[in-house]
Amino acid sequence: MVRGDGLYSGLIGDLKRYSYIKATIMEVCGTHTMAISRYGIRSLLPEGVRLISGPGCPVCVTEPGAISTAVQLAESGVTLVTFGDMMRVPSARGSLYQARAKGADVRIAYSPLDALNIAVNNKDISVCFFAVGFETTIPGISFTLKRAIEEGIDNFSMLTSLRTIPPAMEVIVKTGEAGVDGFIAPGHVSTIIGSEAYRDIAEKYGVPTVVSGFSAGDILTTVSMILDMIESNESEVRIQYEHVVKPEGNIKAMKMMYEYFNIYDIAWRGLGIIEKSGLKIKEEYSAIDALCRYDIEIEEEDEPEGCLCGDVLAGRAIPPDCSLFGGLCTPSKPVGPCMVSSEGSCAAYYKYGGDRVRYTI
């Protein structure tokens, strides 16, 4: 039960007036995935309104080949540092957690700067930071690169698998496979890139987009704002999460993002290669790029057998559609990343149920 009984009854009542609308609304943010399941938002909406998850969990969309490469580096004697969420994601070479259990030096950092500090304080080891993330995380990663380069920390490198969200949303709209009628745009990615970044999605492709906060009230209001646009045949970008997100975003952070990275085409789990959706270290700084330093490549790798993670991330399936869900694949024994990550769609469905009524407001 969400705190503040009855607080949202007005909002839920307002939503009833859209009961004649059939619409699929996609969120593209792991925290929204969790919040929607936790609050039981799906059960509060008119019957025709479906909420589905998209590629909003950075750990989940990281191509399995990049994880294999990270494991390979760790096994070769490099100290591999990454965010905690990445540790248990399986790849053809196993997970980083398994590599550590077998004796590799794999460490967890809260901040990329912590990874750099490991290198600064341990000159006798080679440290590689496995950097995954979206726009929220990339400016800090870029800042860390800047510091490493400026201070000449030559026992530090980065293996990057960094992505930007709007091109993935565009592909989802263009392929039409998920039948998305509206987007709940991510809150903290948008803090960096601003709501203007979704203008094409809304205006060129006609999909109403609202940047949302994370409370039950925020999400219900956002859904209502999207349905209102659908009803009146409008398509704009609007901000519900006004106190944190500005149309122009965080200009300083965006500038930092592109100082050390170039845009390139990168593979997303479930969505394939998306043009201009990735960021890689600029050629002039290739000495710090782990792929150059260790002369390795990220190879293409298949999904685990039977795993529907890719389809779930693309909005083509929901977790219960997967034959492994809840049986062979559970949070304690995950097959795919959507069950591993605390923000993964499968983990959220497993923990809180999907469309089942679990919480009342």
Partner 1 sequence: MCLAIPARVLEIDGDMALVDLNGVRVRANLAFVDGVKVGSWVLLHTGFAISVLTEEEAMETFDILNQVFGGEEK
Residues that bind partner 1 (CB under 8 A): 1-3, 29-31, 34-35, 38-39, 57-59, 83, 85, 110-114, 132-134, 136-137, 139-140, 143, 186-189, 191-192, 213-216, 218, 243-244, 250, 252-253, 256, 341, 343, 359
Q: Return the residue matching tokens 């490198």.
A: 157
Strand intervals (E) in 141-215: 156-163, 182-185, 209-211
Taking the complex as a whole, the smallest distance from the CB of residue 25 to partner 1 amounts, in Å, to 19
Question: In the complex, what is the shortest distance from the CB of residue 75 to partner 1, in angstroms, rounded to a whole number?
Answer: 25
* Least Å from the CB of residue 77 to partner 1: 26
Specify whether the backbone of 142 is left (phi greater than 0), alpha (psi in -120 to 50) or beta.
alpha
> Cβ 148 to partner 1, closest distance in Å?
14
Rounded Cα distance, 62 and 267, in Å = 8
Give the nearer residue to partner 1 in terms of CB position, either 18 or 268.
268
Of 200, 141, 140, give the one whose Cα is nearest residue 165.
Answer: 200
| Alpha-carbon gap, residue 246 to 252, rounded angstroms | 13
The SS3 of residue 313 is helix
The count of C-alpha atoms lying within 13 angstroms of the C-alpha of 134, restricted to the half-sphere facing its C-beta, is: 25
Judged by beta carbon, residue 112 or residue 208, the one nearer partner 1 is 112
CB of 58 to partner 1, least distance (A): 5
- Which of 174, 243 has the CB closer to partner 1? 243
Nearer to partner 1, 59 or 314 (CB): 59
Decide whether 270 or 324 has the Cβ nearer to partner 1.
270
| Dihedral over alpha carbons 135, 137, 139, 143 (to 10 degrees) | -160
